[in-house]
Chain A
Amino acid sequence: MKNLRDVWSSRFMHYIGEVQKYMQFIFTGHIAIVLVFLIGAGGYQYSEWLKVVQTDFPAEVLIAVIIGILLAFSRPTTLLREPDQVYLLPLESKMFLYFSKALAWTFWSQVWIVAIVYIVSIPLLKAVTELTTVEIWTIFLLTIVLKYLSVRGEFSYRYSERGQMVWVDRFIRAVIFAAAIYMGLHAQLLLAVIAIVISVVYMIVFSKKSVGEPVPYEHFVKLEQNRMMSFYRFANYFTDVPHLHGSIRRRSWMDWLYKFVPYGKENAQKYLVFRTFIRTDDHFYLWVRLTAISAIIAAFVDIPVVTWIVAGALSFATTIQLKQALLSSGEFRMDMLYPLPDHARQLAVKQIVRLAMISQAIVVGLCAMTQPMFYIAFIIVLVISELTSKVSK
């Protein structure tokens, strides 16, 4: 690696690769479909509401506050790693080259969030204010400029203060930005410009303060680790993330359930698989998530056919994913040596999955209670699950 720009580029490629790998799963997973439905439904509701919204609706304040808060969250993406505090130390004075790349990426990777929120709110602005199109787009540009200032500002603050009390800094920035947007929305461009000047000064104060300070590697590395962890945790809802594999929780409030597997040689695998299912977050939350989606649809969608299709699809998804997760046998486990019949594990998995699916059927059936023929959802969950369990290998 010749220089710091190359260091950044190779980090960046690796990071993008990692994000892409998991994004694939997120956008092909079941939650993506639910999200599309939710966005569609939300958009429809919003457009209906715009038709009846009163002109005294406080749109300016609401938008200014929301955009102000969103602008204030400008966590820098530095992609620094733990060994950097040793290996990059001799390059300390040249680190600004690296950070300018990092901040450019931080800006471009975050600016679209405020941009989208603002664009979504434009119809509302048109409905309740008298702003002209030019004015509305001028404020859009103002938002983008403020985002740029915010990214530099938060970085300088974290650099000079090593991340201490960053919430105070964010609050101050949120207030200044919200004020700027609010002035803009009231066509008080002069006041808006004054707010911008204040935020520039605020930024410069910390930027000056950070000159000569050593790079706060520890803080930035921790920030990076937290960011990647939360990304992995999010991705883990959709797919198996190896870094996160199997966190375990006792869930002792469910201990009473284990009594249903009595002591005895023929129950050894069931004893194990039951606890694996209840206590492994991956398996347990998979069931909780899919059951919850199915139940919510059953409770709030009034078209029986839709609830049946969703119940069936999610019953299939839960059964097949649970079965595969519980059967997976990559590593050596002690139960591979137990003097038990060869199919003992498979049989136990089948029974535990059945138990989980009967519970899902009951939950979904209860949530569909208000509908005519609510018992059909219950039967569909059970039948699809049994068929899936039988046909899949």
Chain B
Amino acid sequence: MSVLEVQHVTGGYTRKPVIKDLSFTIGKGELVGLIGLNGAGKSTTIKHIIGTMLPKEGDIRLNGVTLKEDTDKYRTAFSYIPETPVLYDELTLREHLELTAMAYGIDKATLDARSEVLLKEFRMEKRLNWFPSHFSKGMRQKVMIMCAFLVNPSLYIIDEPFVGLDPLGIQSLLDQMDEKKKEGASILMSTHILSTAEKHCDRIILLHEGRVRAQGTMADLRQSFAMPYATLDDLYIAMTKERDHEELA
């Protein structure tokens, strides 16, 4: 059974839809990359999945339910790492972890056990009592990542995760993602770092002007673009050129 099902979703900010008739699924234990040019609709797609925007048409199901049917079950099913870290200026690192654990109904013992591991992995043990104003962009990103992994949900939604992280941070994140995948969690990751996406994603969804242009494994994509030895970068550029042709036509 799919963890996430996006079925014929149309939506956007104004009357003119940004995403059009979008459909894809993510299965258990899958790492799926959401790739597209700026303005292709990646962020809008993510906003619809996390429920800060509601689809004008179509359905989004997480573990079988829509947000309307069972808000609690839907929200517990995922955690989200935004592109720009969103932290509470008035909470320390420790309090961010504690608040997240409380909100997701995690007991104190589990919180302590999980946060110890995460703090060590991301080398933040010594900053527990710091406020976000003293954190660098990378550290802020790490706080978001730790909060997300603390929850241990069925689906991780990660928007542009590698920007601002140092190489060790990137490695830690990839390790964590790998581990969670093995435990059966699914991950939807939007990124521009195509080489990393190509290396780590099980499947790729190429978004283009609000529609799914192509999706599948790297092999599927190469076939669909008729470029047998292409890297994801090549395919991405091919897609860009395709758009230019359309515009000229």
* Interface of A toward B, CB cutoff 8 Å: 246, 248, 250, 263-265, 267-268, 271-272, 275-276, 279-280, 331-340, 342
Q: Do B103 and A333 touch across chains, with their CB atoms under 8 A apart?
A: no
Q: Do A337 and B102 touch across chains, with their CB atoms under 8 A apart?
A: no
A335→B147 CA distance, assembly (Å): 12
Q: Do B71 and A248 touch across chains, with their CB atoms under 8 A apart?
A: no
Q: Do A337 and B80 touch across chains, with their CB atoms under 8 A apart?
A: yes
Interface centre among A279, A331, A342 (most CB of B within 10 A): A279
Min CB distance A311 to B, Å, is 29
Q: Which of B92-107 contact A (CB under 8 A)?
A: 95, 98-100, 102-105
Min CB distance B142 to A, Å, is 15
A339 and B75 in contact, given A265-B105, A268-B99 (Cβ under 8 angstroms): yes
**What is the count of residue pairs linking A and B with beta-carbon distances less than 8 angstroms?**
66
8 shortest A-B CB distances, which residue pairs?
A339-B75, A338-B103, A268-B103, A268-B102, A279-B90, A265-B105, A339-B76, A248-B89
Q: List 12 A-B contacts (CB under 8 A).
A: A265-B102, A265-B104, A268-B102, A268-B103, A271-B102, A275-B95, A332-B82, A334-B88, A337-B51, A339-B74, A340-B103, A342-B71
B227 interfacial contact with A, CB 8 Å: no
Query: Inside 8 A of A335's CB, which chain B residues have their CB?
Result: 99, 103
A78→B69 CA distance, assembly (Å): 62
A336→B86 CA distance, assembly (Å): 11
A248→B50 CA distance, assembly (Å): 29
A264→B103 CA distance, assembly (Å): 8
Q: Do B102 and A264 touch across chains, with their CB atoms under 8 A apart?
A: yes
Query: Inside 8 A of B242's CB, which chain A residues have their CB?
Result: none
Query: Inside 8 A of B241's CB, which chain A residues have their CB?
Result: none
Range of interface residues on chain B? 20 to 34
Q: Do B133 and A271 touch across chains, with their CB atoms under 8 A apart?
A: no
A275 and B90 in contact, given A248-B133, A268-B99 (Cβ under 8 angstroms): yes
Q: Do A334 and B86 touch across chains, with their CB atoms under 8 A apart?
A: yes
Q: Select which of B76, B86, B90, B105 is within 8 A of A332 by beta carbon.
A: B86
Query: Inside 8 A of B82's CB, which chain A residues have their CB?
Result: 332
* A-B contact sample (20 more), CB < 8 A, given A332-B82, A339-B104: A246-B89, A248-B90, A265-B104, A267-B102, A268-B102, A268-B103, A271-B95, A271-B99, A275-B88, A275-B90, A275-B91, A275-B95, A331-B86, A332-B52, A333-B86, A334-B147, A337-B75, A339-B72, A339-B73, A339-B74
A127→B168 CA distance, assembly (Å): 80
Query: Inside 8 A of B99's CB, which chain A residues have their CB?
Result: 268, 271-272, 335
Q: Do A276 and B90 touch across chains, with their CB atoms under 8 A apart?
A: yes
Min CB distance B54 to A, Å, is 13
B131 interfacial contact with A, CB 8 Å: yes
B108 interfacial contact with A, CB 8 Å: yes
A339→B52 CA distance, assembly (Å): 13
Query: Inside 8 A of A248's CB, which chain B residues have their CB?
Result: 89-90, 131, 133
Q: Do B52 and A336 touch across chains, with their CB atoms under 8 A apart?
A: yes
A250→B89 CA distance, assembly (Å): 10
